[in-house]
Structure formats: structure tokens, C-alpha cells
Chains A and B, each alone.
Chain A
Amino acid sequence: MTTGKKMKEEMNALKNKGNLKRILASDQFQLQSLVWPGLFFCFVFSYIPMYGIVIAFKNYTIGSTIASAPWVGLRFFNEFLRDPSLANVLRNTLILNGMALVFSFPAPIFLALFINEIKNMKFKKVVQTISYLPHFLSWVIFGGIVIEMLLPTGVVSSVLCKIGILEEPVNFMAKGEYFYIIYTIVSIIKGVGFGSILYVAAITGIDQELYEAATVDGCGRFQKMWYITLPCITGTIVIMLIFQISSILNTGYEQIILLQNPLNLAFSETIDTYVYKIGIAQSRYSYAAAVGLLKSVLSVILLVGANKLSKKLVGRGLF
């Protein structure tokens, strides 16, 4: 009797052991285990911060936890709307991004059109390679060199003096009113080559027969550009435009902070850098989180709005 029971238990243990082994060796378990690390890191570093957004509605101070901080509702949102620097920060953000939309956005499209017209393949390759270079230099290096060039002893002042535009050398970085234009030019130089990759690829994908047919019909170069190339890459342009519009409240931190100094602060402080300053430097976490949340919500609304608009106007969108 007892031996029988024992034997049964032993059999069960053996069976369980076999099960475990079989599970560990099964495709399903192995595949699932490949997903786990990614799942873990994605959850921790992407989803937990989403929960952290609640501090925008709480009064979080150092020492308290996110859960224990007292609720304050919309206090910090109201505070931001009455913040004396709001007007300035919003103006700078909108002007910088407005200029990006008008100048930095079309620049890669034009560059791609011009690159496409280069007949000498070697020259084309060299031009393209050089045009990517600024993208691969960090903002620290590129910004650092630009600041150096814009000093009164730098090359820009010197050249402008020589050709008679300036009377005497100017420290451009110390004059806030130049910040918008400096930032726009620098970001075009840094981004135009890399941005053109996408458009060049789109142009390469156009059916060559269209061009041949146009040549037979007696179309010139610019007519082909206008009536064939541009319409064929409209899809790519529209998608990039939607992204650009939805990021109209973003300026990023790295590039702006680098070109910022106390003298141009009135022109260079944007929503992003403001969040960084009040949040990290002044440790007003809840307030900064509220400002950041407000910006994200507006960005999502802009994205959806731009997408709807483009669907209505050109019949296609992002989603």
C-alpha cells in the first residue's frame, strides 16, 4: 500500500520534472523568453514615466513619493497660464518653429532636386557625402565652432566688415535679436544634407518612362521637375510636413541650450528649455511636468489636426 503510494508520487515527480524540461525546451517558452527583456525595459523606461505624469496634478516635493504627494488639481496649469514668462517662451517657440517650417523644411527638398540634376556621378557622390557631414558632427562641436566663428574676431565679422556690410566687428551671439536667424541657418546647414536622403530616394523611385515620355513631348528640365518630380514625391513631402507641424511646440534641448547665453535668453528661451530649467535646475518638478504635459497634449492635437487636414486636401495622411 505505502509502497504503491510512494511509487505513484515518484512517478508524478518524474512526470513534473519531464514537464518542466519539456516547457523549457518548447518553442513557445523560448520565443516568449526572447521577448521578456525587451518587455521589461520597455515597461520600466517608457510606461512608468507615463504614470509619473500624475505629478503634474500633485504637489510633488523632494522627499515625498509620487503616490504620497497631495493632489492639487489644475493649480500648476493655472500658474503657468499666469506665468509672466509664458508670452516670451511661447513667442520664441512659435517663431523658431515657424522659421523652421518656412526655411528648414523645404531646404532638403530643393537640395534633393538639385542633386538629382547632377549628371557627373562622381561629383554627385562627393557632394552628397559632404552634405551629410554636419549631421554626424555633434551639436556641441558644430555649435561650438559656430560660436567661435561669430565672435568679433571670427570670420563672419571680418568678412562682413571687408565687404562693407558692417562698420565694425560684432559679437553676434551677444545680440539676442540675431538668435532666430543664426539658429535657423545653423539648423539648415546641419540638417539639409541628411534630410535630403529621403527625397533623393523618393526621386530615384520614380518611373523613368515618365521622363522619357515628357522628353518626347518636348518638356524642358524645369517643366519635368515641376510636372513629374514634384507630384511624384508629394506623398513623402506631406508625411514629413505632418511631422513638422505636429512638432511646432518642440525645439529640443540639446541644440538650443548650446547656443543659449544670458545675453540672448529673451530670444532663445523655448518651452523645452524652460521645462528643463524650472524642473531640473530649480527642482520645481510638478510645475515643469505640468508645462511638459500641456505641450504634449497640444502636440498630439496638432498631429491629429494636421493629419485630418492633409487627408482632406491631398487625400492622404499618416494614419
Chain B
Amino acid sequence: MLKRKPKSKLNGNTFFDWVNYVLMGIMAFVMLYPLWYCLVGSLNEGTDYLRGGVFFWPRKWSTASYRAVFLDSSIMNAFAVTIAKCIVGTVTSVLCTTMVAYAITRPVLKLKKYYIPFFMFTMFFGGGLIPFYLLIVDLKLYDTFWVYILPSMFGAYNMIIIQSFIRDLPGELIESAKIDGANEYRIFFQMILPLSKPVLATIALFSVVGHWNSYFDSMMYTNSPALQTIQLYLKKVITDPSMAKGLGTAAAATIPGQALTLTPQVVKLATMIVTALPVICVYPFLQRYFVKGVTMGAVKG
């Protein structure tokens, strides 16, 4: 019954393994800690937080900051704009890009040899910030919701990834659908779109996260508070002290007994947590999609 243990190994692990575990553990801590810091701060009472030293656990518990976030109408409006931007932007852009990707894979498509370089060129060269800004102003898209949607309708890079996926689908499928009398639209909508779900999920994931996390488009191309996204709102609060002062004050007044202890800092931290939460909840489950996305892009690029 005695089994001989391998020499110089502790439970099958060498010294290097343990060093590696410790190193990776430290790294994981460094990655997680900023968010934890933010969470702990947001759950602490406002005036108490200002004394500093709230690093690992709230000193005085309070959820007033979260109530302030959900009562603040401009924060809620910013959330609504951001969600609309994510959904509309992603659906239209994935559809538009996939349509091109499918057509490009069909050998019968005429003018194909002109289309491909036309699209590819935009991956390597662009007009730059200023000409793009002037175009947005000229098209009267400045300060409209459509400035979030239309410029990203077509992406050459995504088109390449999608078309390489569609090209690898069995060609007999299309042939047999043709024999059954389906036209190209029908093949595209009823066959190609459902079959391409894995690659479309990847592209859509990146698109949603990109829309959710960007503030630059909102800062550059909109002006009215009604159109600002949650990230721009946060950015303003972080970099503009006068803006931070107003944060949550209206809401604080409506929460009885909290007006004195609620401070802009903790409301800011609570807004960050609320903004980060959807992404944190979703990304671990979509891992295989974005791992695929990154490696697919690399093979083609």
C-alpha cells in the first residue's frame, strides 16, 4: 500500500511552483484591490471617509451614497443614454458590418476586387481628429444622439474577422438553400446570421463594452447634459471640483438625516461601482468569446 513520493517535490509542486503561486496571487491582489478600495469607500459614511484610512473595510457603514446615486436624475439620465447607445450602436453596427462580410465571401459578387482594398485601406490610414470633428459638425451630427451610432456603423477590422468566419462555413449549405429557391436576402437573414452567432457574439461583446466605457465621443461631439454618457459624467466629476460639489446634493436633501454626512467623494465612488457593476458581472461568463476575438484578430492582422 505504500506509494513512493517523487523526490524533491512537495505535494507534486517544486519550489518554483510555490514562488509562481505567490507571484500570481500578488498580481491578482493588485488587480482587484483598486475596485475593492472603491467599494469600501462608497459604503463608508461621507464625512468619516474624508479623514482617510478607509482601506480594507468600511469604518462607519452607510448606504446613503447609493441612495443618492439612484435619486440623482442626471446620473439616471446618463445611464439611460449609455444603455441606448450600447444597444442601438451594437445592433446596427453588427448588422451593417455582417451584411458586407457575407457579400464579400460570395464568389459571384462583382466589383469585389475593388471593395476589399477600399475597406482595408481605412484600417491603416485615417483623417485624424480635427478633420473628423469638422465633418461631424458639417453633417449636423454635433450634439445629437446619432453621433454615437453612425460613425461606427461599419468597421473594416470587424468585417475581416466576420468574413473569415463565414468563409469557413460549409459552402454546400448555401448551395442547397439556392436549390430550394431561397434568395440572397433570405440566405443571409435566415441562415448566415444564425450560423455566425459565435463570431457575432464576440464582436458584439467588444462593441458593447467599448460603447459602455468610452467618454471621449461624448466629450468631443456633444454638449448638452441630456446627451452625456455616464462615463463623461464621471469624468467631469473626477476632474472638475466644482462639478463634484453639486454631486448628490439634491439627492442628499431628500434623504432625511443624511444631508450632513453625505459627501461628493462617496457619491462619486458609489457611481463608479454602479457603472462598473454590469461589466464586472458579465465579463467572466463571456471569456471564451473575447479570448477567441483577440486570437482571431491576431491571425488576420
Q: Write the residues of chain A forming the contact surface with B, with a CB cutoff of 8 angstroms.
A: 25, 27-28, 30-32, 34-35, 37-39, 41-42, 44-53, 55, 60, 66, 111, 114-115, 117-119, 123, 126-134, 136-149, 151-155, 158, 189, 193-194, 197-198, 201, 221, 236, 239, 253-254, 258, 261, 275-276, 279-280, 285, 288-289, 292-293, 296, 300
Contacts and interface: CB of A to CB of B under 8 A. Distances in A.
Interface stretch (B57-65, B69-77, B152-160, B253-261): B152-160
A140 B235 contact: yes
B109 A31 contact: yes
Interface in B1-38: 12-14, 16-17, 20-21, 23-24, 27-28, 30-32, 34-35, 37-38
Given A42-B156, A131-B27, A133-B35, A254 B130 contact: no
A51 B135 CA distance: 10
B35 A145 contact: yes
Contacts of A32: 103, 109-111
Nearest to B297: A198
Interface in B197-250: 209, 212-216, 220, 231, 234-235, 238-239
B179 interface: no
**Size range of the chain B interface in the assembly:** 35 or more
Nearest to B298: A198
6 contacts: A28-B110, A50-B127, A51-B131, A52-B131, A137-B276, A201-B291
B81 interface: no
Contacts of A236: 298
Nearest to A296: B128
B300 to A, nearest CB: 12
Interface of B: 12-14, 16-17, 20-21, 23-24, 27-28, 30-32, 34-35, 37-38, 41, 50-53, 55, 96-97, 99-100, 102-104, 106, 108-111, 115, 118-119, 122, 125-135, 139, 150-151, 153-154, 156, 159, 183-185, 188, 209, 212-216, 220, 231, 234-235, 238-239, 265, 268-269, 272, 275-276, 279-280, 283-284, 287, 290-291, 294-295, 298, 301
B289 to A, nearest CB: 12
A158 B216 CA distance: 33
Contacts of A296: 125-126, 128
A159 B294 CA distance: 37
A41 B131 CA distance: 16
A279 B130 contact: yes
A144 B275 CA distance: 12
B234 A140 contact: yes
